[in-house]
Amino acid sequence: MLKMPLSITIISLSAYILCGGASAQGNCSSFMLDDQGYFLTNNDPIRISAAANCPVSNSNRTCAIKTAGQDLFTGRTNLSLTTFLPDDDDGYGMQHPFMQSINSATGNYSPSLPATFNRTISAPIDNTMSVEPGQTVYMNFTALLYCYTGTTGGCDTVGSVQDDTPVEVCAPVWGGAPGAIRVSGTYSLEHIDFNDVDKYSDPYAGQIPENAAQTLQMGIGALISVLAFAVFLM
């Protein structure tokens, strides 16, 4: 049984076209699952922190780069289906027949997968990583997706997506109770030139008051040393 990591978090996915730049539009009401099972894939990485530099003078200890905020993670499909796009105006949301059909076809497929196939998930991206002295970086997050393949059904005559069109639908891997949902994925550091630090501001500025979480901080050991020295001088 495949175990999904649920302690690592977030990224903003957008529904986009995979098939050779096709521009097919369609509104379909059902999804017929094939017998290929599900597969896991990574979405493109997204930047989740401001850039920061760990001073070379901090040679005896690493620095910590932190990020905090909330992001909206969105699923994707290889067809431009109005029934799947996150910015559709059908008013159905998760109750759209196509989304209900996906959940009906894939429900309880594996206990290691999320309870429901959600095209959008809101979750935090809070994390801390160590940075070596002399490095200038920002933090990325790469969300994990789980995907099914099948065919469309119940398509209207307005768009060019017809019944029995091969379709791939993907959604973020998520877990947790309401209020504590996390999106699975991996964090990484992107190295940049020191002179480019100002080009990468906090993408979640304003979400959290006094968001010091996006600043580069000295390790806790250095802070304790400074406090101890201050007490000694008093």
Amino acid letter, 177: A
Instruction: Give the residue extent of every domain in the chain.
Output: 25-233
Residue 176 is predicted with a pLDDT of 86
CA–CA dist 61, 68 (Å, integer): 23
State the pLDDT at residue 169: 95
Q: Which residues are CB-neighbours of 2 under 8 A, at least 6 positions away? A: 40, 110, 112
* Partners of residue 69 on adjacent β-strands: none
Weakly modelled stretches of the chain, pLDDT under 50 = 1-24, 88-89, 209-234
Q: What is the pLDDT of residues 54-113, one digit of tens each?
A: 999 987 899 999 999 999 998 899 998 888 876 544 555 557 889 889 999 988 677 788
- Give the per-residue pLDDT at 158: 76
The pLDDT score that the predictor gives to residue 60 is: 80
Q: What is the pTM of this model?
A: 0.73
